[in-house]
Amino acid sequence: SAVISQKPSRDICQRGTSLTIQCQVDSQVTMMFWYRQQPGQSLTLIATANQGSEATYESGFVIDKFPISRPNLTFSTLTVSNMSPEDSSIYLCSVVGARSTDTQYFGPGTRLTVL
């Protein structure tokens, strides 16, 4: 499976500010996704990061709030904009590999706390 890293691993931010989370994979992957896991909850898909084009957002998530970039096949960023305490969550990057397209592997996650 691919090795996935995320930066930062955790952060504490003030409301109204923005944070950009990076996801780096050690090999080219077919698909990259961003999930949110609110405290004590399961995972919810935010969007699919498309290489070279705009991300595909799920219902309830918008580009102005969660802009996403994917400049190449190994890297993506998720920005959480104009943060509020309700954005306090774990944000996880996941990938579907070039070799195995049926299984998603996850990064270590970024724990975000908004004060």
Partner 1 sequence: AQTVTQSQPEMSVQEAETVTLSCTYDTSESDYYLFWYKQPPSRQMILVIRQEAYKQQNATENRFSVNFQKAAKSFSLKISDSQLGDAAMYFCAYRSSAYSGAGSYQLTFGKGTKLSVIP
Binding residues vs partner 1 (CB under 8 A): 1, 31, 33, 37, 41-43, 45, 48, 50, 56, 90, 92, 94, 96, 101-109, 111
Q: Which is nearer to partner 1, 15 or 23 (CB)?
A: 23
Smallest gap from Cβ 44 to partner 1, in A, equals: 8
Q: Which is nearer to partner 1, 82 or 97 (CB)?
A: 97
Angstrom distance (rounded) from CA 38 to CA 90: 6
Q: Which is nearer to partner 1, 9 or 82 (CB)?
A: 9
In three state form, how does the secondary structure of 2-69 look?
CCEEEECCEEEECCCCCEEEEEEECCCEEEEEEEEECCCCCEEEEEEECCCCCCEECCCCCCCCCCEE
